[in-house]
Chain A
Amino acid sequence: ATSGVFSAVGAPSNMQGSSSGRAGVMTDVHRRFLQLLMTHGVLEEWEVRRLQNHCYKVHDCNATVDKLEDFINNINSVLESLYIEIKKGITEDDGRPIYALVNLATTSVSKMATDFAESELDLFRKALELIIDSETGFASSTNILNLVDQLKGKKMRKKEAEQVLQKFVQSKWLIEKEGEFTLHGRAILEMEQFIRETYPDTVKICNICHSLLIQGQSCETCGIRMHLPCVAKYFQSASEPRCPHCNDYWPHEIPEVFNPEKEREAGGSKSSRKSLRTRQH
């Protein structure tokens, strides 16, 4: 892909002839979409579609709504010079597609946001390390808070740290379940590269999609791991699920493949979803 600097030294940026086709054209429809996506931080696919329709309605109601993928690629080709892009991922617990605006270059913890003070970012770093090290992908509130004395920057009490953790949940960097914390899909989208570079020895990878794995299932014989949605897809039509690596019987419950149609019928509310979390013993 052409970098912003390359275009700036006078080479025609018209990308016709390259695999990406026509260069990006951004209208008010795209700008409003981008701004709202930024405001929300991360959105699920149904929200993104609704947002896209809304933006068309506001600015250009007679036009046919672009296919979502093309719409987003369009925006991304314009954003290329800023080294940011709208990235699509799936949630680790139930395979819902999500979208967020992320850095193309590696995002370290310090670049996450300037919303947070040094000590708060360090708390996130500590939580991140516990999460990566854990078997389940979850770190307990207690274990995180016990590290409060080791934080850089201004001294933080446990009570304050609890509130900071809630701030991270509200900003969609962490998810909380029953007093334990794991990474939000948004954090994984944004920081996967950084995590893989910074913790190469402890990081877990999915055997199927080869992406970063925080939550998932593992083979009790050979230890390979798979994301829950990857398990769902891989064993979808298998009568007897077997480990792709060692062929041993796969001992865990196989989750269902995410079906957006079924979601809409069920009303799409978060509380009605069954989420599967595996405990390793």
Chain B
Amino acid sequence: MDRRNDYGYRVPTFQSKHPNGEERTGSNYRRIPWGRRPPPPRDVAILQERANKLVKYLLVKDQTKIPIKRSDMLKDVIQEYDEYFPEIIERASYALEKMFRVNLKEIDKQSSLYILISTQESSAGILGTTKDTPKLGLLMVILSVIFMNGNKASEAVIWEVLRKLGLRPGVRHSLFGEVRKLITDEFVKQKYLEYKRVPNSRPPEYEFFWGLRSYHETSKMKVLKFACKVQKKDPKDWAAQYREAVEMEVQAAAVAVAEAEARAEARAQMGIGEEPRYSFGIFVHTAA
């Protein structure tokens, strides 16, 4: 728990009637460090209200695909209920799953970063493309180069491939913008890729790895199948990669089961989902 941290937070000088819609303008607020305030009593209604607010906050913030910091959630939404953060985030996580079939995942326990992942098989393309489709297509190409190359690829190799697609560093593309910035900066911030300097390289050389988000949003098997589709080969033709992809799937399944169990236990303890009538006003219908 982060109780020891002294976050400055803003105390409203009036009691806000509306759970949503209030604008926080700086002039109305005093700054009181959380540490000095007594924690408010546990009130399920308010915890649920904060959780609902957190759901919207996460849905909006996730649009940028830049991982969300726990400290931002605490500052912007949770505020004086920071002591109840674990319960609030569990309630939010439950609502996200039940309403949007989206998983809230902590991808970096050290820096407390979270992302939202869709848990359903993608319906991509059913209504044509969105503005993100070209970028994600390009990403898929890069992820497959990295994987097929043994889970890392030098910048030189990546550019070789991109040049074949007509993309060049420093040249603005109508769909991707400046491609070098996209792959070394934007995709890195979004945790789709990692861009690291090759140790002891002089002049400095860089290589690409899969980012944490890529591991969660796709799988080595999916990427292998994509690469094989392009090459018109069978995934099993790439024996080493195929073995690795299968192994990752097994591991991922085991992790998913363990996580689901842990979540179910936590929720049972917190009384989340037990009485949906009284917590959310929704009946949770589990489809047969």
CA distance A60 to B2 in the complex (A): 45
Cβ–Cβ contact A36 & B99, under 8 A:
no
Query: Is A83 in the interface zone, CB < 8 Å from B?
Result: yes
Instruction: Known contacts A31-B101, A31-B120; decide if A81 and B280 are in contact (CB<8 Å).
Output: yes
Cβ–Cβ contact A51 & B127, under 8 A:
yes
CA distance A26 to B282 in the complex (A): 8
Closest to A172 in B: B131
CA distance A8 to B278 in the complex (A): 5
Instruction: Known contacts A8-B44, A8-B278, A82-B55; decide if A27 and B285 are in contact (CB<8 Å).
Output: yes
Closest to A59 in B: B287
Please name all residues of chain A whose beta carbon is closer than 8 Å to the beta carbon of B280 when the two chains form the complex.
4, 7-8, 13, 81
Residue of B23, B99, B118 contacting most chain A CB atoms (<10 Å): B99
**Contact pattern, A 17-45, Cβ under 8 Å of B = 1, otherwise 0:** 00000011111100110111011110100
**Contact pattern, B 28-70, Cβ under 8 Å of A = 1, otherwise 0:** 0000000000000000110011001001100111011000000
**Contact pattern, A 102-122, Cβ under 8 Å of B = 1, otherwise 0:** 011110101101110000000
Please name all residues of chain B whose beta carbon is closer than 8 Å to the beta carbon of A55 when the two chains form the complex.
123
Cβ–Cβ contact B131 & A114, under 8 A:
no
Q: Which of B23, B52, B283 contacts A81 (CB 8 A)?
A: B52
B249 to chain A, nearest CB (A): 22
Interface residues of B in 245-288 (CB under 8 A from A): 277-285, 287
Please name all residues of chain B whose beta carbon is closer than 8 Å to the beta carbon of A36 when the two chains form the complex.
123, 126-127
Instruction: Known contacts A26-B99, A27-B287; decide if A80 and B281 are in contact (CB<8 Å).
Output: yes
Cβ–Cβ contact B123 & A5, under 8 A:
no
Cβ–Cβ contact A13 & B19, under 8 A:
no
Closest to A30 in B: B99
CA distance A234 to B106 in the complex (A): 55
Instruction: Known contacts A34-B99, A114-B63; decide if A25 and B48 are in contact (CB<8 Å).
Output: no
Instruction: Known contacts A25-B285, A31-B99, A35-B102; decide if A8 and B279 are in contact (CB<8 Å).
Output: yes
Task: Give the bracket for the number of chain B residues in contact with chain A.
Answer: 35 or more
Q: Which of B23, B99, B278 contacts A7 (CB 8 A)?
A: B278
CA distance A266 to B95 in the complex (A): 42
Q: Which of A2, A41, A60, A105 contacts B281 (CB 8 A)?
A: A2
Residue of A5, A8, A59, A103 contacting most chain B CB atoms (<10 Å): A8
CA distance A8 to B21 in the complex (A): 19
Please name all residues of chain A whose beta carbon is closer than 8 Å to the beta carbon of B102 when the two chains form the complex.
35
Task: Give the bracket for the number of chain A residues in contact with chain B.
Answer: 35 or more
Cβ–Cβ contact B63 & A113, under 8 A:
yes
Query: Is B130 in the interface zone, CB < 8 Å from A?
Result: yes
B129 to chain A, nearest CB (A): 10
Cβ–Cβ contact B100 & A31, under 8 A:
yes
Cβ–Cβ contact A28 & B120, under 8 A:
yes
Cβ–Cβ contact B21 & A106, under 8 A:
yes
A253 to chain B, nearest CB (A): 32
Instruction: Known contacts A5-B49, A40-B130, A115-B63; decide if A108 and B56 are in contact (CB<8 Å).
Output: no
CA distance A7 to B118 in the complex (A): 28
A164 to chain B, nearest CB (A): 12
Cβ–Cβ contact A5 & B285, under 8 A:
no
CA distance A255 to B201 in the complex (A): 68
Cβ–Cβ contact A81 & B282, under 8 A:
yes
Closest to B127 in A: A47
Query: Is B18 in the interface zone, CB < 8 Å from A?
Result: yes
Please name all residues of chain A whose beta carbon is closer than 8 Å to the beta carbon of B131 when the two chains form the complex.
170-171
CA distance A14 to B275 in the complex (A): 12
Cβ–Cβ contact B19 & A35, under 8 A:
no
Cβ–Cβ contact B21 & A34, under 8 A:
no
A197 to chain B, nearest CB (A): 11
Please name all residues of chain B whose beta carbon is closer than 8 Å to the beta carbon of A114 when the two chains form the complex.
60-61, 63-64
Interface residues of A in 75-100 (CB under 8 A from B): 77-84
Closest to B19 in A: A5
Q: Which of A3, A34, A83 contacts B100 (CB 8 A)?
A: A34
Cβ–Cβ contact A4 & B21, under 8 A:
no
CA distance A170 to B129 in the complex (A): 12
Cβ–Cβ contact B126 & A54, under 8 A:
yes
A32 to chain B, nearest CB (A): 6
Query: Is B98 in the interface zone, CB < 8 Å from A?
Result: yes
Query: Is B218 in the interface zone, CB < 8 Å from A?
Result: no
Please name all residues of chain A whose beta carbon is closer than 8 Å to the beta carbon of B282 when the two chains form the complex.
13, 23-26, 77-78, 81
Cβ–Cβ contact A23 & B126, under 8 A:
no
Residue of A6, A27, A39 contacting most chain B CB atoms (<10 Å): A39
Instruction: Known contacts A7-B278, A13-B281; decide if A113 and B127 are in contact (CB<8 Å).
Output: no
Please name all residues of chain A whose beta carbon is closer than 8 Å to the beta carbon of B281 when the two chains form the complex.
2, 4, 6-8, 13, 23, 80-81
Cβ–Cβ contact B45 & A13, under 8 A:
no
CA distance A152 to B218 in the complex (A): 39
A-B contact pairs, 11 of them (CB 8 A): A5-B48, A13-B280, A26-B99, A35-B118, A43-B127, A50-B127, A55-B123, A58-B123, A83-B56, A106-B21, A171-B131
Residues on A lying within 8 angstroms of B by beta carbon are: 2-10, 12-14, 23-28, 31-32, 34-36, 38-41, 43, 47, 50-51, 54-55, 58-60, 77-84, 103-106, 108, 110-111, 113-115, 170-171
